[in-house]
Structure 1
Amino acid sequence: PDAQGEGGEEEGEGGGPASNSPASVELQAINSLMSACGRSGSPDVALRLLNEMEGKFGVQPGVGTYRAAVIACNQAQHERRRARARGEALPEEECDYNHEEECDLDDEECGDEECGGGTLHWWECALSLLRRMREAGLTPDVQTYSSAISACEAAGQWRRAIGVLRSMSEKEVKVAGAKGGAGGGSIPTPPNLFCFNAAIAACEKGGAWLEAIELYERVRSGGGSGDLRPNFVTVNSLLIALDRAGQREMAESVYREAMEEGIVSPWKWKFDSDAGKILALDLHQFSTPMAKIAVRGLMNSLQLSILDDDAEPEHNSDRDLVIVVGRGRGSEGGKAVLGPVVQDLLAREFRVQSMVDARNPGRIRVRREELASYVERMVCDFSLI
């Protein structure tokens, strides 16, 4: 995910509103240009503007200037991750910083494959910009921090992401106003949900599932401010981390809690050409691990209803089951991913056959006869116990 917005009205050097002087107007123009560079995939131009603006234009960078530069680095790092996923050859990154002078990474953490030694990568540039802001007497706002954490997440640098997150609790974080501009001064502010989600996603990519759980529990307890709650992105990232670590029972427990708390709501009303308006299991926004857990939960609820007359299954076996899996338009390469996974899971673990809906290839259908047969097999199996 890219940064949250681009920022609006500009702060002055001390964190207050910019004046209407020619210099402040020029500062806003430079900041807007840097934001445009980030959106257009030219972070090197944004950093060049940052480095040259005082000498060329006689204007000192402000909080919004650094924010735009960090966002540009974040966007560039995410684009590299997407390009790598597509199998594209990646050019050398160009960042106008000297690694030894600007980067404060220790040798152990700097030995990652993303680190290029003498040339900074975009996630490193984002961290260096944070340090440069503080050295200039400027206070990074929450959006700047979240963008730096997101850049670390895109590079799989989970230790650095957690380090930035922890530093926010130790520093004065400026609370931006409604338009991303001047706020009410600098007060201690805990990280927002964007920061936590990016850090959990970084742990997921780095295989740090214990750290991901710790961060998730912090969010559930309010994140320090008392007003944070996990959302769909939070749960999804944690489930991917637990799935990769082989923590199936824990992942299923987290999913059940998320359903009970209304964070995840997989059952949606859909129109079906055969039955009209129906409740379908909508998984098309789910990751593969979350989709597997949802399908297992559905089938296990059918089993539980056999053992306990008071238990309500998620779906009644007397009607067709429709599972929305999408057509793969949002996947890398536009290839359907969830459909084959769900069909294989149903056949392999539950001996239930399914088919792609002939009228809508983004849906899988399990005939009621197939579900009834599954329930009968379960009744026979339980009677033998």
Structure 2
Amino acid sequence: MLFEAMPKAKVQSNIISCNATISACEKGGQWQQALMLFEAMPKATVEPNVISYNTSISACEKGRQWQQALKLFEDMPAARVLPDVISYCATMSACQKEEQWQPVLTLLEAMPKANIQPTVISFSAGISACEKGSRWQQALLLFAAMPLAKAQPNVISYNAAVSACEKGGQWRRASILLESMPKAKVLPDVITYCTAMSACEKGGQWQQALWLFDAMPKAKVLPDMVTFGAAIGACEKGGHQRRALILFEGIAEQVVLLHCFLR
């Protein structure tokens, strides 16, 4: 409303107001409105800059419009606007969310050629894309390349790599990644444990899955319902019905504790 109320002459000379309005639409989840404003800029003799493109790509990412985000990114060179690290990461995130792993890897590989240093965000997006594309080997290669690129892995990077191993049936590699986290000064969370346990359970390693479950309190990680389910599944496969029943009863205790905490 404020944007539309501005005198036309001021709008034509003020790219800041245009970008601010696109950004507001992006944060409000209005990707169609953001694109309408972006496409109207040249008609108002306002040339989009890298911020205009980045906010529009981010709006498409939030609206789950990966094709539109990729098109905006690919249009940047023709508009004589150089993509920056935000342009790459926002586009990769848009593609990764919709399980489009091939464009994500292409963008990640293109970053050094464009003299842009890949970040932990871009690597994490690449690893997650490989996980969704069932390419666990590629995911681990990207994870291993992070220190060389001076991108310190975080819990998101680890979780994506562990999940890739889980989908690839690599329970041992998933366990090794989890065990290596404290040395890297990265604290595992409930997602890390749950995914590693699922990998062990799928691989018939019920004892390892239960060992991970028992290790959670020591790591100050509170098990959730999914984690309990993975542990019970491991007991079932190992023929430990009594332990499974004890774990099932533990779910009720966990619900009571959570209820008290929320109160």
- Structure 2-normalised TM-score? 0.78
Instruction: Tell me if 1:123 matches 2:66.
Output: yes
Contact 2:140-2:161 at 8 Å conserved across structures: yes
- 1:198-250 Cα offsets, whole Å, 9 max, x none, are 1111111111111111111111x332xxx311111111111111111111122
* Cα distance, 1:315 vs structure 2: 8.9
Query: Is the alpha carbon distance of 1:288 and 1:72 closer, same or farther for their aligned partners in structure 2, counting shifts above 3 Å?
Result: same
Instruction: Tell me if 1:324 matches 2:247.
Output: no
CA distance in 2: counterparts of 1:129 and 1:38, whole angstroms? 15
Provide the aligned C-alpha RMSD in A.
Answer: 3.2
CA distance in 2: counterparts of 1:362 and 1:290, whole angstroms? 26
* Cα distance, 1:360 vs structure 2: 3.6
Query: Is the alpha carbon distance of 1:262 and 1:361 closer, same or farther for their aligned partners in structure 2, counting shifts above 3 Å?
Result: same
- The 5 Å alignment of 1:109-148 reads 122-148=65-91
CA distance in 1: counterparts of 2:192 and 2:142, whole angstroms? 21
Query: Is the alpha carbon distance of 1:164 and 1:214 closer, same or farther for their aligned partners in structure 2, counting shifts above 3 Å?
Result: same
Contact 1:222-1:229 at 8 Å conserved across structures: no
Alignment-derived partner of residue 148 in structure 2: 222
1:151 corresponds to which letter in structure 2? A
* Cα distance, 1:149 vs structure 2: 0.4
SS of the residue corresponding to residue 190 of structure 1 reads coil
- 1:23-76 Cα offsets, whole Å, 9 max, x none, are 687211111211222222221211111111121x22111110001001011111
- Max Rg structure: 1
Q: 1:206 aligns with which of 133, 148, 167?
A: 133
CA distance in 2: counterparts of 1:151 and 1:241, whole angstroms? 19
Instruction: Tell me if 1:289 matches 2:187.
Output: no
Instruction: Tell me if 1:31 matches 2:19.
Output: yes
Instruction: Tell me if 1:236 matches 2:163.
Output: no
* Cα distance, 1:296 vs structure 2: 5.3
Query: Is the alpha carbon distance of 1:343 and 1:65 closer, same or farther for their aligned partners in structure 2, counting shifts above 3 Å?
Result: same
Identity across the alignment (%): 22
Q: 2:49 aligns with which of 58, 62, 82?
A: 62
Query: Is the alpha carbon distance of 1:39 and 1:347 closer, same or farther for their aligned partners in structure 2, counting shifts above 3 Å?
Result: same
Alignment-derived partner of residue 88 in structure 1: none
Contact 2:96-2:129 at 8 Å conserved across structures: yes
CA distance in 2: counterparts of 1:337 and 1:75, whole angstroms? 27
Instruction: Tell me if 1:247 matches 2:153.
Output: no
SS of the residue corresponding to residue 53 of structure 2 reads helix
Q: 2:255 aligns with which of 338, 361, 370?
A: 361
Query: Is the alpha carbon distance of 1:315 and 1:196 closer, same or farther for their aligned partners in structure 2, counting shifts above 3 Å?
Result: closer
* Cα distance, 1:166 vs structure 2: 0.9
Query: Is the alpha carbon distance of 1:299 and 1:356 closer, same or farther for their aligned partners in structure 2, counting shifts above 3 Å?
Result: closer
- The 5 Å alignment of 1:1-385 reads 22=10, 26-55=14-43, 57-77=44-64, 122-171=65-114, 188-219=115-146, 221-223=147-149, 227-265=150-188, 283=190, 285-286=191-192, 288-292=194-198, 297=208, 299-300=210-211, 324-326=222-224, 336-349=225-238, 351=240, 352=243, 353-354=246-247, 355-356=249-250, 358-361=252-255
2:161 corresponds to which letter in structure 1? L
Contact 1:240-1:287 at 8 Å conserved across structures: no
- 1:116-159 Cα offsets, whole Å, 9 max, x none, are xxxxxx21211211121111111112111101001110111111
CA distance in 2: counterparts of 1:52 and 1:287, whole angstroms? 48
By percentage of residues, which structure has more helix?
2
- Structure 1-normalised TM-score? 0.55
SS of the residue corresponding to residue 46 of structure 2 reads coil
Query: Is the alpha carbon distance of 1:146 and 1:24 closer, same or farther for their aligned partners in structure 2, counting shifts above 3 Å?
Result: farther
Q: Gaps (5+ residues) in structure 1?
A: 1-20, 78-121, 172-187, 267-282, 302-312, 327-335, 365-385
1:34 corresponds to which letter in structure 2? I
Query: Is the alpha carbon distance of 1:66 and 1:264 closer, same or farther for their aligned partners in structure 2, counting shifts above 3 Å?
Result: same
CA distance in 1: counterparts of 2:106 and 2:216, whole angstroms? 45
